[in-house]
Each structure stands twice: as structure tokens, then as C-alpha cells.
Structure 1
Amino acid sequence: MTPTEQFCRILRERSTDHLSAGRLLFTNQLYGQVISTLRQELDSMVRAIFLLNQDLAPRQHFIGQTLQNEKWTWPNTRSQITDRNMVDLANSMYGWTNSVYKLGCAFIHLSPMADYRNENPFRQLSPDEINSIKQHLHDYHSFPLANDLNMEAVSPYLLKVLDKVSSNLECYIGYLEADKIGVS
């Protein structure tokens, strides 16, 4: 098995786990954990997007670092690739990844968002972020723009968003397996 094949297998297995966990968590109305799981799936997707926008030699370098359980650094440097680098690249291409990533991070880390059963977690976001999330939910999943952004209104869309990110990831995995470069 080549390093790329092994890397893609890891991405697929992780994605399968995320989808199963997301459904189980959703069934139990653990919406904060669904969002945390979505954030993990998005992590895989932004990594795949980042790799697709690298030439094959640096791509193999990063894949090798993953398989060696090392942090990603630019070849022949100690300069690390950060999540912010990858999210910014994906966001510049798609325009929505930053909002979902930031929301997911708020649920992964201890924050007032964890009190979503008692308080509207979206009040923690700026009006621009709220409008961005609403617009993307509307564009991709027909969320009514007139609705307020709160957990009650958003929760029915969580699995749809997770499924969409997962299906996009599967596409990108196929591109990685085909050694495509610059796919957006």
C-alpha cells in the first residue's frame, strides 16, 4: 500500500466514524457533540483541500509526516502548517469553512456555547458570522433566512451539514488518490 493509499484509508475510516457518531449523538439530542464531530470532519476536509493545492512532492512530504505522527511542517523547514493556514485556504475557495470551523471550535473548547440548552450559543457570534452561517445554511440546505439562528432552528440541519462535508471529503479523497493538483 502506498503512503497516499494509507492516508486516504485513514481519512475514510475517520469519516465513517464521524458519520456514525454524528447520527448517534443526534438521536440522543447531543447537538453540541454533533457540532464537535462536524468540526473534526471539517478538519479532515481542510487537510485534503490543502494537500490538493500542493505539488506532489510537498504533498507526499505532508502525508509522510501524518503517517509518522508528526506535525506538518514545510519541507526543509521547522515552519509548521497551522489549522488556520488550512482553514483560510479552504475559506478563500469556498467561503463557508471559516464559519463552521469557528463554530465547531467553540463546542470543542470550554466556552459559553456549551450552555446551548439554556442560552442561545449563537449570541456569542458577531452579526456578520451569524449572517454568514444563515446564508450558507440557506444556500446549501434551504434554511429559511427569516429564522433566528438558535439551536432549535439549526439542529435539524446538523446531519445535513455533516453529510455534505463528508460527501465533499469523499470527492477530495478520490482526487488525492488520482494525484490531481489544484482541484477546487
Structure 2
Amino acid sequence: MTETEQFCQILRERSAENVSAGRLLFQNRLYGQLISVLRQELDSLVRAVFLLSKDLSTRQHFITQTLQNTKWTLPNSRTVVTDRNMVDLTDRLHGWTNSVYKLGCAFIHLSPMADYRNSNPFQQLDQTEIIDIKQHLHNYHGFHLNDDLNMDTVSPYLLRVLDKVSSNLECYIEYLENNQVSSIQTL
């Protein structure tokens, strides 16, 4: 098995587990944990997109670093590739990545968002972010723009968002397996 095949296998296995976990969490109304799993799935997606933006040699460099369990650094450099770098690139392609990333981070890190059963976590966001999230949910999943943004109105869409991220990730995994390179450049 090549390193690229091994890397893609890791992405697929992680994704399958995330989707399975997401369904169980949804059934048990554990929405904060589901959002955390969604954030983990997004981590895989932004890494795949980032790799697709690189030539095959540079891509191999990052895949090798993953398999060696080391942080991604630019070739011949100590410059660390950050989540922010990868999220910004993917957001330019999709337009929704940053919103999902920020929401996921709010649930991963201890914050008032974790108290979503007792208060509206979306009140922690500024108005621009609320509008962005509503618009993305509307555009991709049919969310009603007149609805308030709260866990009761958002929770029915969480599995749809996870499925969307997962299906996009699967396409990118196939592109990686086929050694495709995108015209998008970063770093």
C-alpha cells in the first residue's frame, strides 16, 4: 500500500466513524458532541482540500508527515501549516467552511456554547455570523431564513451538514487517490 493509499484509508475510516457517531449522538440529542464530531470531519476535509492545492511532491511531504505523526510544516521550512491556513483556503472554495469551523471550535473548547440546553448558544455570535450561518443552512439545506437561530431550529439540520461535509470529503479523497491537483494555490 502506498503512503497516499494509507492516508486515504485513514481519512475514510475516520469519516465512517464520524458519520456513525454523529447518527448515535443525534438519536440521543447530544447536539454539542455532534457538532464536535462535525468539526472533526471538517478537519479531514480542509486537509484534503489543502493537499489538493499542492503539487504531488509537496503533497507527498505532508502525507509522510501525517504518517510519521508530525505536525505539518512547509517543505524545507519550520513554518507550521495551521488549521486557519487550511480553513481559509477551503472557505474560498465553499464559502461555508469558516462558519462550521468556528461553531465547531466553540463546542470543542469550554465556552458558554456548551450550555445550549439552558440558553441559546447562538447569542454568543455576532450578527454577521448569525446571518452567515442562517444563509448557509438555507442555501444548502432549506433552513427558513425567518427562523431564529437556536438549537431547536438548527439541530434538525446537523446530520445534513455532517452528511454534506462527509460526501464532499469522499470526493476529495477520490481526487487524492487519482493524483489530481487543483488550480487553487495557498502558502
Short-chain TM bin? over 0.9
Q: Partners of 1:81 and 1:161 in 2: how far apart?
A: 26
Which residue of 2 is the match for residue 42 of structure 1?
A: 42
TM-score (norm 2): 0.97
Partners in 2 of 1:65 and 1:75 — Cα distance?
10
**Identity score, percent:** 72
Which position in structure 2 is the counterpart of 1:102?
102
Counterparts of 2:116 and 2:28 in 1: how far apart (Å)?
Answer: 15
Q: Give distance in 2, aligned partners of 1:181 and 1:106.
A: 32
TM-score by length of 1: 0.99
1:93 & 1:45 partners in 2: Cα distance?
Answer: 12
Within a 5 Å distance, the mapping from 1:144-155 to structure 2 comes to: 144-155=144-155
Q: Which runs of 4+ in 1 moved over 2 A?
A: none
* Structure 1 range deviating more: 107-116 or 87-96: 87-96
Q: How many angstroms does 1:94 deviate by?
A: 1.3
Letter in 1 for 2:58: P
Show the counterpart of 1:14. 14
Give SS of 1:39's match.
Answer: helix
Offset at 1:92? 1.3
What secondary structure sits across from 1:71 in the alignment? coil
2:6 is matched by which residue type in structure 1? Q
Q: CA deviation at 1:183?
A: 6.4
**Letter of the 1:169 counterpart:** L
Number of equivalenced pairs: 184
Deviation of residue 117 (structure 1)?
0.1
- Report the Cα distance in structure 2 between the residues aligned to 1:131 and 1:46, rounded to whole angstroms: 23
SS at match of 1:147: coil
* C-alpha distance in 2 between matches for 1:85 and 1:15: 22
Change (3 A) 1:183 1:42: farther
Structure 1 unaligned blocks of 5 or more: none
